[in-house]
Structure 1
Amino acid sequence: MAQQAQEARTDCYAAVDIGASSGRVVVGYVEDGLIRLQEVHRFDNRQVRRHGHDCWDVDLLHTELLRGLACCKEAGFAPKTVGIDTWGVDFVLLDADDNLVGDAVAYRDARTNGMYEVADAIMAPEELYRRVGLQRQPFNTIYQLLALQREHPEQLEAADTFLMIPDYLNFLLTGQKAVEYTNASTTGLLNAETGAWDETVMAAFAIPRRLFPNVTHAGASLGSVLPEVAEVIGYEPRVVLPATHDTGSAYLAVPACEPPAVFLSSGTWSLLGVENRSPICSEGAFRANFTNEGGYHFRYRFLKNIMGLWMIQSIRRELNGIAYVVDEKAIRKGRLHQYMRVEGLGHEVGFADLIKAADEAEAAGVIASIVNVNDDRFLAPDSMIEEICAACEEAGQPAPETLGELMLCVYESLARCYRDAIEGLTALAGHGYASINIVGGGCRDDHLNRRTAQVCGLPVYAGPVEGTALGNLAVQMLADGAFPHLKAVRAAIAESFEVTKVEP
């Protein structure tokens, strides 16, 4: 073991990047002024049905986290620091003995149905937005807590600590409890101006302030991992807080080609917006339903949450007969059989198959039907294919009859939603934008990049793919002094990774 430890590279950092569909552990280091990456572990994220709700399997996430950090050592690395980022809004409650109280219910669960009405009777939505600046979405943490109050008030009574998902994973690594700012900003409980918990909102909604640790910021160190963790993974890194909300990390990695630029973090969700130095909580921003999410060093991500690649991911799972929630009832087949008869789809369907189908339909002159991708009906339908077909028919449009028509509908609908969001940004900012900069897994989708450029009338700069992991690593590198400031690390990212320009 001593010899292995001596051989392991220690001038490196590990980013644990967990999205709603999958997670990975990526090691990063600086070499000749460039940032180098190596993925050492990838795993599926899943939901399980427990006590009538769709929940995250946090035990599985913890197991895969430890496995991924151990894989660093197996690959010849012993990172000096580790950072974890995940999606936002979801949380766990711990009791006084640090045991879980209840389940980690997932944001796509239906428990928040009807919570808008409950919340609006307590505080006008305009007033709530003025204070917290958060886009109105049914899964925001504040609505989840309202649902929990009604279904399981005993859980809130028994709870001693509120932690968001990355905060909980950090606690399991270090024993330290800290709620990081960028993820906390997705709760609807953080004051947009001060960056602290809004005690007026908490009191109005009867949410116990005692549960919430004071907010900690990206770059802070939680100390070394626990001895039992070090024994499992084979080394003893410190845990540093990145922007723990994955979009906060992704925005750090945007090279910002051809400014003024719109940023688009493209994954399960499409987060389209800009980076500001102060929040915009105006009536116009409220009416346009833009959000002010916290960014690194008190920057603000002023953006629109758009359904994103979730619809495409769901179609792929459905064609392959895979349910998103383990133990969920079997997927309704409906019209699924007709898509399975497409030539070349006798094998497991990949994203390349879906892109090819859309390309062929476009080349054949198919006119796409359009749906509102942000409609809540697409959050967690039993069958995404059926839901898209039904939405088209209800709007008086033809339902897709082939896989190509189905994919063209999704792609065209997403591109138009991007265009509408950019028009909203332009109206609120009072100026136009020169480019769209896309990072994340979605930047590899050539069809979507091309249609986005054409529909929005702006050049698209696609890349880097590993945007979220890069942003996570960037904060660790800054905390360690590998770069003097954010501008320098962003310049290194731009120099280190390929960006593809797509003309409109």
Structure 2
Amino acid sequence: MVNYYLAVDIGASSGRHMLAHLEDGKVVLEEIHRFSNGMIEVDGHKRWDIEELFRQIIIGLKKCKGIGKIPTSMGIDTWAVDYVLLDENDNVVRPCFGYRDSRTAGMDEEVYKIIPEDKLYERTGIQKAIFNTIYQLMADKKDGYLDRAKSFLMVPDYLHYLLTSVKSNEYTNCSTTQLLNPDTKEWDYELIEMFGFNKSLFGEIKQPGACIGTFSDSVKAEVGFDCKVVLPPTHDTASAVFAVPNTADNVLYISSGTWSLLGSENMKAICTKEAMEANFTNEGGYEGHFRFLKNIMGLWMIQSVRNELIAAGQEYSFAELCNLAEQADIDSIVDANAEVFLAPASMIDAVKDYCKNQGQKVPETPGELAKVIYQSLAVCYKMACYEVEKITGKYFNIINVVGGGSKAGYLNKLTAETTGKTVIAGPSEATALGNIGAQMMAAGEVAGLKEFRNILMSDI
């Protein structure tokens, strides 16, 4: 009998259902369903259409039933920091705001009135980003949403709740809230109360691999089967790093997608002033690991440029933009981490304006725009490599790029040339594989993380 495992992997621009099983010592992946995602603008705010995401999850489950491949278990991973608030009747209190929404403007100042920035980092190990959960909660407090809230669920936890009627708080995603103690790996309730948040909102932290239950009666009736719901590392980056195939100590990873997350794995959080000033974060990983990493703007920039070109009637694939970039003659560089690139009205204009203001050649063609972005990402990677080596005191000579960006051959080439390190690409489906790996381990079909990574290494 074949055991099938289903990963529902939802990113900022798309989601998919990936079904997997073990065959001859290898993980066999099959895409069952794919759907689009993205923030929508409603009443001047960016939000996620959480109801549509759940509708798509159900559609994918029905497709599993339709092809006769019923999963033994399933789990959902998504991006970090965003969440849902429920009232005493488990009704949604406010829209599921997206992290690019401007409602958090100025909330950092409100937080630092309560605890200085350096003390907050020392206490949590989480980098400052204005979209962090802690600043979103301060906005909710200001807007009165917390007055009615009785439960706090990160996005994947809420989607799991809709499937099972069981509320859970999975560790890796909750670690991004800036409200966890990195030593105990539990909520820092003292910190939570300092901010005036009701500590009863925040439930028991569960580790990846925990089975939280099975489908509710209504979901069973709709999809036509029952299934265990096993928590993967629900933060998509945590799942992606789970599936970095190299087990050596000299390997950095880049989880390359909408964001580029570059870093190392450690067994203890690094909460030093040096790490804070370099804007590194310590996010929770599997089996007590910490993902010591830096957030770099990533392929969001090229995705945005491509969307604008398509809207203007210029249809390019990412592969075509890579080829055009390699042929272009321009040396301009932008700071890919600059706030102007977070959510500009036009990414093309933002890149052009930045170059113009810096006295550099302004990119005009699609190829030039793409080259500026790819060159800029490679330079950011080089700086992040230098910083992680300086802070950890370790030297890393290999970078393993995983995720969709691992297929960007030109960017990988630039990364190798710019950093002077060996770049290994793949797996491109790392997030889904990490999700599935946690489920396989929970089922006892794979003995541990090292064995799973060795299985993946044989496929690279």
Decide: shared fold, TM above 0.5: yes
Q: Deviations over 1:230-268 (max 9, x none)?
A: 222221110000000000000010012764000110000
Contact 2:5 2:71 (C-alpha < 8 Å) held by counterparts: yes
The residue aligned with 2:242 is 252
Pairing 1:43–2:6 present: no
How far off is 1:30 after superposition? 0.7
The residue aligned with 1:479 is 442
- Structure 2 distance, partners of 1:430, 1:46, is 39
- Structure 2 distance, partners of 1:390, 1:310, is 18
How far off is 1:59 after superposition? 0.4
The residue aligned with 1:227 is 217
Which consecutive unaligned segments of at least 5 residues does structure 2 have? Answer: none
The residue aligned with 1:212 is 202
CA RMSD, 1 decimal: 1.2
How far off is 1:197 after superposition? 0.8
Give the SS at the match of 1:223: strand
Q: Specify the code of the residue in structure 1 equivalent to 2:320.
A: D
Contact 2:133 2:177 (C-alpha < 8 Å) held by counterparts: yes
- Structure 2 distance, partners of 1:133, 1:371, is 28
Q: Call closer, same or farther: CA 1:215–1:124 in 2, change over 3 Å.
A: same
Q: Which runs of 4+ in 1 moved over 3 A?
A: none
How far off is 1:10 after superposition? 5.3
Q: Deviations over 1:350-409 (max 9, x none)?
A: 212211210111xxxx23211111111111111000011111112221221221111111
- Please show how residues 248-287 of structure 1 align to structure 2 within 5 Å: 248-256=238-246, 259-287=249-277
User: What TM-score comes out, normalization by structure 2 length?
Assistant: 0.98
Pairing 1:71–2:63 present: yes
Contact 1:128 1:201 (C-alpha < 8 Å) held by counterparts: no
Q: Specify the code of the residue in structure 1 equivalent to 2:428.
A: V
The residue aligned with 1:387 is 350
- Structure 1 distance, partners of 2:107, 2:242, is 33
Give the SS at the match of 2:180: coil
- Please show how residues 79-478 of structure 1 align to structure 2 within 5 Å: 79-150=71-142, 152-153=143-144, 155-256=145-246, 259-321=249-311, 345=314, 348-361=315-328, 366-478=329-441
Give the SS at the match of 1:275: strand
Percent identity, aligned pairs only, is: 47
Q: Deviations over 1:448-469 (max 9, x none)?
A: 0000000000110000110000
The residue aligned with 1:32 is 24
- Structure 1 distance, partners of 2:213, 2:348, is 47
Q: Specify the code of the residue in structure 2 equivalent to 1:203.
A: E
Contact 1:40 1:75 (C-alpha < 8 Å) held by counterparts: no
- Larger displacement relative to structure 2 (351-360 or 12-21): 351-360
- Structure 2 distance, partners of 1:208, 1:96, is 13
- Structure 2 distance, partners of 1:103, 1:84, is 20
Give the SS at the match of 2:177: coil
- Larger displacement relative to structure 2 (250-259 or 67-76): 250-259
Contact 2:246 2:453 (C-alpha < 8 Å) held by counterparts: no
Q: Call closer, same or farther: CA 1:259–1:199 in 2, change over 3 Å.
A: closer
The residue aligned with 2:457 is 494
Contact 1:92 1:103 (C-alpha < 8 Å) held by counterparts: yes
Contact 1:10 1:77 (C-alpha < 8 Å) held by counterparts: no
Give the SS at the match of 1:89: coil
Q: Specify the code of the residue in structure 2 equivalent to 1:80.
A: T
- Structure 1 distance, partners of 2:345, 2:415, is 28
